[in-house]
Structure 1
Amino acid sequence: MKKFLIALLFAPVMALASSGHVQLDKWPGSVGDKAALQNGAKLFVNYCLNCHGASYMRYKNLMDLGLTESQVKDNLMFTSDKIGGLMTIAARSDEQKLWFGATPPDLTIVARARGEAGNAAAGADWLYTYLRSFYRDPNRPTGWNNVIFENVGMPHILYGLQGQQVRNHETHKLELAVPGQLAPAEFDKAVSDLVGFMVWMGEPQQEFRRTLGFFVLAFLAVLFVVAYALKKEYWKDIH
C-alpha cells in the first residue's frame, strides 16, 4: 500500500518524460547561490508558471532567497494578490488536458521526482539537459521535439532566449539555426539558474539541513572524545 501511494504521488511528474539512453549533462549550479536562485525564480514565474503550477509553495517562501516582501510582490507575484498565496495557475486541469492532451504536472518536486530514489542531483541533470535539448520538428503539432523526450507535447517555451535548434540527422547532434536573445553560454547559465530554483523548491531547507548535519557530526565527534576519556578514567582502577 505504501509503495502504491508513493507511485500515485509521483505519477504526474514521472509522466514528464523518459530520458532513455541519452547521456545527461551535469547541472553546474548550486542551491547555495542565492543570486542564481533569485534569477531562477524570475524565469520560473515568467516562463513556467503559465502552464505548470508549484502548488506546494507559497510566494512568501521566496523571501528565503534573500528577497524582500516588496520585491516578491512587485516582480514575482502574478497569480495571487496575497504574499501567503500558493503558486498555482488559473487554468483548470480538465481545461489543460483538453488543450494539451495531458495535464502539465506540478513542478514543486519535479527535481526530486526525476532523480532515482528522490535524488534531486540526478533530477537536476535531467532537467538541465531536457530544457536545452529542444529542436524544430515540423512533424510535431507544436513544431518542437526533444532529444531526451521524444515526441514531447510541451513546446519550447525558452526558444526566444535560446533560439531555434535543428537536429542533424547524420550526426544526430543539435545545431543552432536561428540565434536567440542570449548567447549559448548565457542561455546555459539561465537554464542552470532555473533548474536550481526547481531543485530548491523540492526542499527549501536543504542548505540548513546540510549545515546542521555538519554541526551534529562535529558535536558527536567531540562527545566521543569526552566519553572515551571518561570511560578510561572510570575503568582505570578496575583494570
Structure 2
Amino acid sequence: MSRWMLILWLLMMPLAALADASRSMPPDLGDQASLQRGLKLYVNYCLGCHTLEYQRFSRTAADLDIPQALMEEQLMFSPVQAFDDPMTNALTGEAAQQWWGVEPPDLTLAAKRHGAEWISAYLLGFYQDTDRPLGVNNTVVESVAMPNVLEPLQGVQKLGCPPGASRVLSRPENCRELVLAQPGTLSPDEFEQVVGDISNFLAYVSEPSRLKARAIAPGVMVFLFVFGVMAYLLKREYWRDVR
C-alpha cells in the first residue's frame, strides 16, 4: 500500500466511525405497537434508574391505548405509586452517587435534547472495556458511567479491526469497529428493533402532544380547506357589489 493510500485510509476511519455512531433510526409516532413495546422495555430495563418525571402513567396509558388495569398490573411495580403519578423510581441521589459516582439523569426530554437517532446510536455503542469501573465504554459517550443494561439481549461487543485489514493497519489503536464477541439472546437485527422501540418511546415522551396533533391534523386540514373556499366565495360576492 502506498503512503498516500495509507493516509487516505486513516483519514476515512473517523468518518466511518461517525457514520456508524449516527445510524439513522427516525422515530415513527404512528407505530403504536412500537411505542407500546418501547414502554415495556423502558419500564423493565431503564426506569429503575432513569425517571420520567414529566410523564404520568395515566397519560402514557391513554395515549398508547393501554387499559388502566393492565398498566397497573404489568407496568407499575411500586405499591406506593398511583395511576396518576409521574413515572419515577425509588432510587435516591445518594445511593446513585455511591454506586456509579453520578446520579442518572431524568430522560423525559432526552429525545428533545439529543434526538432519537442519538439515543439509538448510544444504546448500540456499548463495548467491553476492562479499564473502566463498570467494564464497558461507549462509542458515542466516551468514559460512560452507565452499565450496559441491555447486554443480555445484545451480547458483548468489543472494538476490533475490520475484516481483511492489513497487518500494518490492524494495530489496536486503529481498531474502532464494533465486533460482536459474545452473542446475546437476540440477533443483531432483533436488538436494533429493541433499540428502535426504546428510542421511539422516548421521542413520544419528549412531546406527547404530537400524538394528538397527528390525530387532529386531517380534521384541521379539512376545516382550512372549507374555510378557504367559503372565504373565496365571500370575497367574490363582496367585490361583485364594488364593481
Q: TM-score, normalised by structure 2?
A: 0.81
Q: Match of 1:101, as an amino acid?
A: G
Question: Which sections of structure 1, spanning at least 5 residues, go unmatched?
Answer: 1-18, 115-122
- For 1:115-126, list aligned pairs within 5 A: 123-126=115-118
State the partner residue of 1:71.
Answer: 70
Q: Is the 8 A contact 2:38 2:201 kept in 1?
A: yes
Q: Is the 8 A contact 1:134 1:146 kept in 2?
A: yes
Q: Counterparts of 2:83 and 2:227 in 1: how far apart (Å)?
A: 44
- For 1:39-78, list aligned pairs within 5 A: 39-64=37-62, 65-78=64-77
From 149, 153, 156, the counterpart of 1:161 = 153
Q: Counterparts of 1:127 and 1:219 in 2: how far apart (Å)?
A: 37
- For 1:176-191, list aligned pairs within 5 A: 176-191=180-195
Answering whether residue 130 of structure 2 is matched by residue 143 of structure 1, we say no
Q: Is the 8 A contact 1:40 1:193 kept in 2?
A: yes
Q: Is the 8 A contact 2:153 2:184 kept in 1?
A: yes
Q: Counterparts of 2:216 and 2:65 in 1: how far apart (Å)?
A: 20
State the partner residue of 1:36.
Answer: 34
Answering whether residue 206 of structure 2 is matched by residue 202 of structure 1, we say yes
State the partner residue of 2:12.
Answer: none
Q: Is the 8 A contact 1:54 1:107 kept in 2?
A: yes
Q: Counterparts of 2:81 and 2:236 in 1: how far apart (Å)?
A: 64
State the partner residue of 2:3.
Answer: none
From 121, 124, 127, the counterpart of 1:129 = 121
Q: Is the 8 A contact 2:134 2:145 kept in 1?
A: yes
Q: Is the 8 A contact 1:62 1:72 kept in 2?
A: no
Q: Displacement of 1:75 after TM fit? A: 0.9
- CA deviation profile, 1:145-164 (whole Å, cap 9, x unmatched): 00011111111110000000
Q: Match of 1:67, as an amino acid?
A: I
State the partner residue of 1:87.
Answer: 87
From 190, 197, 201, the counterpart of 1:193 = 197
Q: Is the 8 A contact 1:22 1:148 kept in 2?
A: no
Instruction: Number of aligned residue pairs: give it.
Output: 213
Q: Displacement of 1:22 after TM fit? A: 6.7
Judge which range, 50-59 or 142-151, deviates more: 50-59
Q: Secondary structure at the match of 1:131?
A: helix
Q: Displacement of 1:53 after TM fit? A: 0.9
Q: Match of 2:159, as an amino acid?
A: R
Percent of aligned pairs with the same amino acid: 39
Q: Looking at CA atoms only, which structure, 1 or 2, has the larger radius of gyration? A: 2
Q: Secondary structure at the match of 1:216?
A: helix
Q: Is the 8 A contact 1:111 1:198 kept in 2?
A: yes
- For 1:5-20, list aligned pairs within 5 A: none
Q: Secondary structure at the match of 1:165?
A: strand
Q: Match of 1:91, as an amino acid?
A: L
Q: Counterparts of 1:105 and 1:219 in 2: how far apart (Å)?
A: 42
Q: Match of 1:162, as an amino acid?
A: Q
Q: Counterparts of 1:216 and 1:207 in 2: how far apart (Å)?
A: 14
Q: Displacement of 1:232 after TM fit? A: 1.4
Q: Displacement of 1:56 after TM fit? A: 1.6
Q: Match of 2:150, as an amino acid?
A: L
Answering whether residue 109 of structure 2 is matched by residue 109 of structure 1, we say yes
Q: Displacement of 1:55 after TM fit? A: 1.6
Q: TM-score, normalised by structure 1?
A: 0.82
